[in-house]
Structure 1
Amino acid sequence: MKASSQRRRRFAHLGLLLGPASIFLLVFFICPLAIMIVYSLLAPGLYGGVEWEFYPHNYGRILGFADPEFEVFDPVYLAIFLRSVRIALITVLAALLVCYPAAFQVSRLPARWKNFALFLITLPFFASLIVRLFIWVLILKKTGFANMVLQQLGLISEPLELIYTDGAIVLGMVYVFIPFMFLPVYASVEKLDWSLVRASQDLGANAFQTFRRVILPLTLPGIVGGSTIVFIPAPGNFVVPAVLGGAKVIMLGNLIEQQFLAARNWPFGAALAMLVMATVLVILFLYVRYEARRGDDAPVIR
């Protein structure tokens, strides 16, 4: 009886702790998500809104089974989806190439300089994202700083089209998401056991073999975690493409915004949002499977 009473008391305390967070998630996440799922399966209204009839062809406009009576399959939406995924993957790779060696450099600094370097990494969060992106507009436009420097050095004769391109969007995304990549990678590098690296070198391994067989496997959790955190918001981001891509480069986030606000096609916008959500859930599922497999493969210390 005493054990049962303690168990009930423990569950009551747990309910009190998790109750507010659970209610918050239910009201502000689960319910809106359920509304979006329902709307994505309804027919679009003639002048906006929805018609309350089952209409799965919103997904067909993207995946290839559009309603033959009213519309035809347009591959532009699938192309926008694939472009968004491609830009997101390039962003992940570019951010990793920047952050991985930087994490090693910061981890070897003295304590006071290490803390200062970490502060510099998080410093962009103290400024408005829009302000930071418009600074890149001033740098990349035809009369901007980058073209001016290249012309002064004689490397180009005419200004380059640096802005409103895929490259400008990747640059802006990497700039925005670098802290999200750096911090997980740095946490993994900081825990690296350098005695294993020295042991590998003592056993005759060269630098590449040591990196491939020792350093990379030990820092892989940080790489996977940082890549996941960066990839999840990247395909649906609409601020960076809107500022640095203009009307020339459209990603899923911009397309969803247009469908809800300009075209007033809420069901199709909801279907696009659900497609982004499905992509994110697949990535999260793979990450959870990786973490579970890593936990099963970890050695047991007795």
Structure 2
Amino acid sequence: MIAFLRRRPGLLPLLLLAPAIAWLVAFYVYPAIQMLQASLWSGTLETGFVFSWANAATYPEALGRYSDQFSRSILYAAVSTVVCLALAFPLAYTIAYRAGRWRTILLFIVIAPFFTSFLLRVLAWKTVLGDDGFLLGPLKSIGVLPEEFRILATPIAVIFGISYNFFPFMVLPIYVSLEKIDRRLVEAAKDLYAGPVRAFQRITLPLALPGVFAGSLLVFIPAMGDFVNAELLGSVQTRLIGNVIQSRFLVNNDYPTAAALSFMLMAGILAAVFIYARVLGTDELESGIG
């Protein structure tokens, strides 16, 4: 085998990629095809489902019926991504350039929530944000907040939960990009009479774009499909498309509608990623990663 690869070195990259490609085909491509097929079914779980291309009307019907949940998911995911970026960039910058011997500890604190179940973290925030919890309870008791004030079961609670749970996914890629920046570039900019703000705008921020890009995707994509935060921290008025898909699949057994919504969600995310990449500029990103 080694002798064969020496004669054909071009096959080595394909051989190394083969396990990953097989994994993607088995657990992504094939399920996506199955989901597309299910979205074109008609019938019920009791009578059985029948595939027909004529059932493509399920897509516009599902989109029209659940357009509010789609719009709400996009809005909440976008706001959560912006919140994570606004909080993560200063933290990642501090860890990369100012933390010193505290760097390892701060990085551990960032990833520490991952040692706890996702569900337990959401339930913990449900307790913290409760109407009589230790956060709002004391403020209400001393009259700072009115008795009817609440955070739980509001859009703020859902966005807060999403931002908290996916925050490390924004911090770590930005930190890696900042850590890779050659400090001599910033020093050269200062030698050329660029102030700290100017050096940050022209050197640090452009070179950190790969981390911003990766972090935004890692937050936005799972936030679009999230349903746990909306289910536990929100209300009927804050239901997201993930809640609808979960309900259609597991409660109502409406597989065609659930599959159609899932497929549209996937297509929408891919379109958003493509547009985002075009806006940022893939050439710049690739050069920054390299």
Q: Is the 8 A contact 1:163 1:245 kept in 2?
A: yes
Deviation of residue 208 (structure 1)? 3.7
1:49–1:236: structure 2 CA closer, same or farther, 3 Å change rule?
Answer: farther
- Any residues of structure 2 matched to 1:34-183 within 5 Å, and which? 34-45=33-44, 47=46, 50-54=49-53, 55-63=55-63, 73-74=64-65, 77-109=66-98, 112-152=101-141, 154-183=143-172
Q: Deviations over 1:208-229 (max 9, x none)?
A: 4333333221212211111111
Q: Is the 8 A contact 1:45 1:51 kept in 2?
A: no
Q: Is the 8 A contact 1:44 1:50 kept in 2?
A: yes
Q: Is the 8 A contact 2:72 2:238 kept in 1?
A: no
Structure 2 length as normaliser, TM-score?
0.86
**One-letter code of the match for 1:244?**
L
**One-letter code of the match for 2:284?**
R
Q: 1: CA distance between counterparts of 2:183 and 2:8? A: 47
Identity value in percent: 34
1:292–1:157: structure 2 CA closer, same or farther, 3 Å change rule?
Answer: closer
1:232–1:36: structure 2 CA closer, same or farther, 3 Å change rule?
Answer: same
Structure 1 length as normaliser, TM-score?
0.83
Q: Is the 8 A contact 1:197 1:210 kept in 2?
A: yes
Task: Provide the residue aligned with 1:22 in structure 2.
Answer: 21
Worse overlay, 25-34 or 165-174: 25-34
1:234 is matched with which residue: 223, 229, 233? 223
1:173–1:296: structure 2 CA closer, same or farther, 3 Å change rule?
Answer: closer
Equivalent pairs, count: 285
1:282 is matched with which residue: 258, 266, 271? 271
Deviation of residue 45 (structure 1)? 3.0
Q: What secondary structure does 1:285 align onto? A: helix
Worse overlay, 134-143 or 201-210: 201-210
1:221–1:14: structure 2 CA closer, same or farther, 3 Å change rule?
Answer: closer
Q: What secondary structure does 1:141 align onto? A: coil
Task: Provide the residue aligned with 1:294 in structure 2.
Answer: 284
Q: Is the 8 A contact 1:232 1:283 kept in 2?
A: no
Task: Provide the residue aligned with 2:208 in structure 1.
Answer: 219
**One-letter code of the match for 1:26?**
V
**One-letter code of the match for 1:209?**
R
Q: Which runs of 5+ in 1 are unaligned?
A: 64-72
Q: What secondary structure does 1:43 align onto? A: strand
Worse overlay, 31-40 or 201-210: 201-210
Higher helix share: 2
Q: Which runs of 5+ in 2 are unaligned?
A: none
